[in-house]
Every structure is written in structure tokens, then in C-alpha cells.
Amino acid sequence: MNTTWSLDALYTGYDDENFKEDMKQFDLMSVKMDNLSKELDNLPEKQALNQIFDCLEEAFRLEHLAAYCSLRQSTNTQETEATSYLGQINQKSSNLAKANTIFMKYIAKIDDIDALIKEDERLSEYAYFIRKIKENNKHLLSDETEEIIAKMSISGANAWSELQSYLTSTVKALYDGEEVTLSEIRNMAYSTDKSTRKRAYEAELECYNKIKDSVAYSLNSIKLQVLTLSKLRGYSSVLDMTLDQSHMQKETLNAMITAMKEYMPKFHEYLRAKGKALGHENGLPWYDLFAPMGASEKKYSIEEAKEYLLTHFRTFAPDLAQMVERAFDESWIDFYPKAGKVGGAFCANLQPIKQSRILSNYDGTISDIVTLAHELGHAYHNHNIHDHRLLNSDYSMPVAETASTFNENVILNAAIKDAKGEERLALIEGQLQDATQIICDIYSRYLFETAVIEKRNDNFMFADELCEMMLAAQKEAYGDGLDSESLHPYMWVCKGHYYSGSNSFYNFPYAFGGLFARGLYAKYMEEGEAFLPKYRALLHATTVSDVEDAAKIAGIDLTDPDFFRKALQTFSDQIDEFKKLV
């Protein structure tokens, strides 16, 4: 079995004739879109709309180019060809911005568009997409301004984001006299040896001194650009812009945060209990957050990880198991950490070829298997929308984490069911680790980003101030669960989620996805196999409906805090069991 992914389904290399031809087609697409944008008023509306969607679908297909280069760059950030081609592709993409804006405005101004939608099959499939265009039109700027924004973003937020990614993937930490990458030293947080965890934590914090100032400039610059754009587009705040982009009501976010804050003290109980079990009297130190407990020392080969996942997924949904087997057998996954490879894990949806690619930094622990399950959940979500038209493949941030977190529940709950003693402790504690991340840690990130955006209105924040702001957010979110003398002031440096000019607040979707999935899993436990068609239908609907409407397929009202309370109560029950086990 290959341990690196294959990208040949996209292109076999930069010298692939298809790659060269698509680069040429990108330039031709710019001319084609510009010409069409000038002829729209001379065409019948139905014909104009179909020609617009011809262009948009072809432009979407050409995003293969960026996906290919970006995936190559993610496993080797020092690959100069990838960086060069991405720059060229971003420039070509920005050349489409003006025509794209004209298309959006043309669609938005059609008065009787519902009649056209009813009489045309393709337009009817794009009904939600079209309605969103009409709603979002009020936030569009002039054609020329949108073009300028797209071009300036290349050397603005996009460049600052690439700098953060480059610095964090190439910086070296000094551990026991040897230089190691940031992803390698962060993986040591899961070591069974307390001394290793503590020394790795100290070495990690020390290495941020090499890059903190540069990354601080990245964060400040990106957030200022986001603030500027939100004001130009007429939003009252960056958060409101994010919610609009997320197709999510503020009432839903407020309902979730209300429930989270109510249950936060319960998670503090878990952290204190874990700290005490590990010999700490003043709460849990940061370096022991991911300390394994119970009989969790087993390391799993990739083959063993595959069988572990297949065994448990087969008990839930055969089509999921089949997709997972395909992902392993057809080299969709890049497993191991290495120098120059980005940290963490992600799943890329390659809609035009109806596949996904998964990056991980696999180290063989049960936690790594859960991470694979999480990313394969994204792939399963993608699998369930692959029969949509190309432009109906974008699900919003809040539901992006639903299938992935549901997968985690399937794997862990199936394993916990048959486990006893130390093994049961290990599995429950592992699940509570993850739950604490999506409740306490995500809340700290939400608080931090809120504070940064508010302060960036008038002030530049140097690295030391950002560290203080991060500590304040962690203290509020983790309370007395963590040792206040041993927190992580540099979490803003290593988390790439903060460094996007297009996706702000990429934190609360993780909490939403976790709690939504937990609530859905509870329904699955109640309804059994009868739930599966609803689940697939819900995933299928996420790209063509608002979050709240997709949830209604499963009979859920997301604006009611009680749904989130019920999901959180399942964690509360596990915390009680954990306290007994330790």
C-alpha cells in the first residue's frame, strides 16, 4: 500500500500535456467570459443564463490546476514550481473576477427568474445557487472594484497566508540537541512519556521566537483586509459577514454558544480530574492536555488502521466502508510527517473527478486513527454530493465538520461499547480530549479572534500582545481546568485557520459540527438503520440549502439551545464515568 497520495487522476506532472492545455484554457476562459459579459444584454435571458453557467462550470473545472499545485505544495512547501504555478493560476483566476461580477449582477437583476428556473433543468438544479446570488448582490461592489480586490488579494491576504504556512512548516525546534519540524514536535504531545511531552512543549514554545514577529504581521495584515472588505460590502461586522457566507442564522450560533457556556464547568471538572490523576494539583498543564491515559500505548500500522476503520464503519454504513477501502487502495491519503510537509490534517474535495485527497501526519496512535476517520468523514460528505452539478459542491463552514465528526463518533463509540477497564478509560478519555478541543479550545479561539478583529480596527498588535490576548482567551475558556502557569500563548502562530482572507472565524464551525454530529448520532442510536437515509439526504442537502433547513430533514431546530444541550449532556455523562474510572 502506498503511504503517499497519487495525484495522477488530476495530472501526472507539470509537464503533463493536459496540465499545459488547461493552463492555456484558463487564459482563453478569461477572454470568453469577458466577451460574454459584454453581450449579455443582447441575448435572450434563458440563453444568457445558460452561457453564463457554461463559463462558470468550465472555470470551476479549471480549478483543478490550483488544487493540483496546492496539494503538491502541502507535502513539500519548498517546491518552487508549485509556488510559481500557484502564483500564475491565482493571477489567471483574478482575471475572471470582473466578468464574474457582471454575471452575478446580471443574474440578480432578472425579475422573473423563478419562471426561467421552472422551465430549464440545469437552472432548476441551480435554484438555491441563483437565489443566493440574488441575496448576496447587495454586498457586491462595482465590477472594477471587485476586479481590483481579487488582484490585490494575491499580494495581500493570500501572500500573508502563504508566509504563515511557509514559516510554520520550515521552522525547526531544538529537541535533545536535534532539529525537528514543528509538526514533529507537536506530535510529541501524544507521547506516553511525561518528560517527553514537557520537553517538547518547552522546545515548541521556544521555537516560535524565531517566527512570531513575521507571523504577527501576517495576522494583522489579513485581519485588516477582512475588516476593510466587510465594511466596503456593507456588513455590520466580520462575524455577520461570516454567518452570511456560512448560510447560518445568528440565532443558531447564539443558541450553541449559550449551551456551550452552560456546560463549560463540566469540562473543567474533566480537566481537573485528569490533572489530578497525572499528579498535578493546580489543574492540568497544557503539555498534558493530550497525555494518553489507560491502555492506549498500542501503535497501529497503516494496514491495521485500515482494518480498524473498516470493521467499525461496516457496522454503520456499507457505502462508507466501501469508500474508505477505495481511499486506502487508490492512494487518496498522504500519511506520514516529513520535513517541508504542512502540519495537521485536511481533506480536499476534487468534485470534477468525484474523488478526495487526504493529508495526515500519521504516527500510529488511536488518536491518529480517529483523525483519519475525521478526514474520511469529509470524503464521505463529498461522496454524497458528487451527483450535484459542479457549482453545487460548496458546503458552508458550519456543516463542513458534520460528517467528519459523525465518523469520529462511529469509530469511538463502537470501540467503547466492547472495551473494559484500562482500554475503556483510554477510549473515553480520547473522546473527551477531542470534545474539550471543540468546546473549550474552539471557544478560546472564537474569543481570541473576536478580540483581535475588534482591536485591529484601530491598532496594530505585536507578537507579545497577541500572546497576552491568547492567554486571556484560554483562561476564560478553560477556567480552573488548566494550570494557569502552563498555557500556550503561541496558539495563534501555529493555527492556519486564522490566516484566511476569505474565511474568518473558522473556529465555531468545529464546535457546531461536533455538537451537530453528536446530536445526529444520538438520533441514529434511537432510530437505527431507519436514520441512514435521513443522514445521507441531510449531507446531500448541505450544498443546496441553509444550515437550518438541512437540519430539518432530521427533525432538528438549530435555533433552540436544547438541541445543543442534549448533545453536550452526552459528554457530561462521559465525564462522570471518566471521573469514576480514574
φ, ψ for residue 160, nearest 5 deg: -65, -40
Beta carbons of 430 and 412 less than 8 angstroms apart: yes
| Top-confidence residue, 522 or 165 | 165
Name residue 349's beta-bridge partners. 356
Q: What is the pLDDT of residues 526-538, one digit of tens each?
A: 889 999 999 999 9
The share of the chain scoring above pLDDT 90, in percent, equals: 87
Distance, CA of 306 to CA of 329 (rounded, Å): 10
Distance, CA of 379 to CA of 370 (rounded, Å): 14
Q: Which helix (H) or strand (E) holds 356?
A: strand 355-359
Homologous superfamily of 17-154: Oligopeptidase f, N-terminal domain (1.20.140.70)
Q: What is the pLDDT of residues 440-481, one digit of tens each?
A: 999 999 999 999 999 999 999 999 999 999 999 999 999 999
Q: What is the pLDDT of residues 119-147, one digit of tens each?
A: 999 999 999 999 999 988 889 899 899 99
φ, ψ for residue 69, nearest 5 deg: -65, -40
Q: What is the pLDDT of residues 371-382, one digit of tens each?
A: 999 999 999 999
The CB density around residue 255, as the number of other CB atoms within 10 Å, is: 20
Domains of the chain by residue range: 17-154
Sheet (strand 346-350) strand order: 333-334, 355-359, 346-350
Q: What is the pLDDT of residue 297?
A: 64
Distance, CA of 341 to CA of 77 (rounded, Å): 6
Choice among 25-39, 46-60, 289-303 with the minimum mean pLDDT: 289-303
Residue among 550, 28, 26, 3 nearest 328 (CA): 3
The one-letter code for the residue type at 396 is: S
Angle between helices 442-456 and 463-478 (to 10 degrees): 140
Q: What is the pLDDT of residues 551-575, one digit of tens each?
A: 999 989 999 999 999 999 999 999 9
Distance, CA of 165 to CA of 170 (rounded, Å): 9
